[in-house]
A = this chain, B = another copy of it.
Amino acid sequence: MSDKTALSGNAAMLILGLLFRRDMYGYEMLEELRSRSQNVFEMKAGTLYPLLHSLEEKGYVTVYEETAGEGTRKVRKYYHITKKGKKVFEQKRTEWDVYARAVANVLGVKNAGDDLAGALFLGGFKPIGGVL
């Protein structure tokens, strides 16, 4: 990735998240990750392909090949998320939610939703940008 130290251990979750929507081939995932994230995620091919292989090994995805079009010899490997993979994804997604909320609790959050965040705000902890 650009500046942040990479995908911070969330690469598998993101890929499974994409496959939750539909079957995709690797290169397609790289593009979709980039576009859906507004260029925040720029996963490298060297990260993705080994990751896909490991997801397959673990039984989270299955693979099948398809040619890129009629009369071409170009083969694409489509990945399909399994029932097991979906479960793992839901789990990872929940963990992410917990993690993100914990970060918010530590950093302080605007728009006091819970007492903690509210206390922080009133305590003079300056929120940034007005985003989160």
Contacts and interface: CB of A to CB of B under 8 A. Distances in A.
Contact of A128 (B5, B41, B104, B128): B104
Contact of A129 (B3, B13, B94, B108): B94
Nearest to A105: B36
A10 B131 contact: no
Interface stretch (A44-52, A53-61, A72-80, A112-120): A112-120
A62 to B, nearest CB: 21
27 contacts: A5-B9, A6-B9, A8-B9, A9-B9, A14-B103, A14-B106, A14-B107, A18-B106, A21-B108, A37-B106, A38-B102, A38-B105, A96-B103, A97-B128, A100-B103, A100-B128, A101-B128, A109-B128, A109-B129, A111-B128, A113-B128, A113-B130, A114-B129, A117-B128, A117-B129, A125-B131, A125-B132
Given A17-B107, A109-B128, 9 more contacts: A8-B9, A14-B103, A21-B125, A36-B106, A38-B102, A40-B99, A94-B128, A111-B128, A117-B128
